[in-house]
Amino acid sequence: MTETLNAEKLKEALQGLPLGRIYFFEETDSTNEQGLEIAARGAEELTLLVAERQTAGRGRLGRKWVTAPGASLAFSLILKPSKAEISHLSLFSLLGGLAVCRAIENYAQIATQVKWPNDVLLNGMKTAGILAESCWQGEQLAGVVMGIGINLLPGSAPPAGEVLYPATCLQDHTPVKVERLSFLRAVLAQLIVLRQQIMDENFIQEYTRRLAFVNQPVTLNSGQGDSWSGVVLGVQADGQLRLRLADGTEASFPIGELRLRPEG
Ligand code: ATP
Ligand code: BTN
Which of 233, 234, 241 lies closest to 257 in space, CA to CA? 241
Exposed / middle / buried, residue 30 (Cβ in 10 Å: 0-12, 13-18, 19+): buried
Looking at all shown ligands, the one closest to residue 151's CA atom is 1
165 Cβ inside 6 Å of ligand 1: yes
Query: Does the beta carbon of 126 lie inside 6 Å of ligand 1?
Result: yes
Pocket lining: 63 vs ligand 1, CB cutoff 6 Å: yes
Residue numbers of the domain that contains 240 = 217-262
The pLDDT of residue 1: 57
pLDDT in tens, 190-237: 999 999 999 999 999 999 999 999 999 999 999 888 999 999 999 999
When pLDDT is averaged across residues 26-35 and rounded to a whole number, the result is 98
Within a domain: 162:
yes
203 with 254, same domain: the answer is no
Contact of 89 with 95, CB cutoff 8 Å: no
Q: State whether 57 and 159 are in the same domain.
A: yes
Residues 136, 192 share a domain:
yes
Q: 59 in ligand 1 pocket by Cβ < 6 Å? A: yes
Q: What is the mean pLDDT of residues 131-155?
A: 96
Same domain, 199 and 221: no
Instruction: Output the CA 227–ligand 1 centroid distance in Å.
Output: 19
Side chain identity, residue 29 = D
How many angstroms separate the CA atoms of 105 and 103, rounded? Answer: 5
- Global pTM value: 0.96
Counting from 1 in the atom list of ligand 2, the atom nearest the Cα of 149 is: 9
Mean pLDDT of 7-17: 97
What pLDDT is attached to residue 259? 94
Last residue of a domain, one of 167, 182, 209: 209
- CA geometry: angle 230, 213, 112, nearest 5 deg: 155
Same domain for 46 and 113: yes
Q: How far is the CA of 232 from the centre of ligand 2 (A)?
A: 25
Determine the distance separating the centroid of ligand 1 and the alpha carbon of 19, expressed in angstroms. Answer: 28
Whether residue 2 is contained in a domain is answered as no
The residue ranking higher by pLDDT, 176 or 62, is 176
Per-residue confidence band for 45, with pLDDT thresholds at 50, 70 and 90: very high
Average pLDDT for 15-44: 98
Q: How many CA atoms lie within 13 A of 112 on its CB side?
A: 29
Q: What confidence score (pLDDT) does residue 233 get? A: 98
Q: Looking at the structure, do residues 201 and 249 belong to the same domain, yes or no?
A: no
> Do 221 and 205 share a domain, yes or no?
no
pLDDT tens digits, one per residue of 146-159: 999 999 999 999 99
Nearest protein CA to atom 20 of ligand 1, as residue: 163
CATH of the domain at 227: 2.30.30.100
Is residue 1 included in any domain, yes or no? no
Number of domains within the chain: 2
Do residues 50 and 154 share a domain? yes
pLDDT at residue number 224: 87
**6 has pLDDT over 60:** yes
In a shared domain, residues 108 and 61: yes
CB atoms within 10 A of CB 160: 10
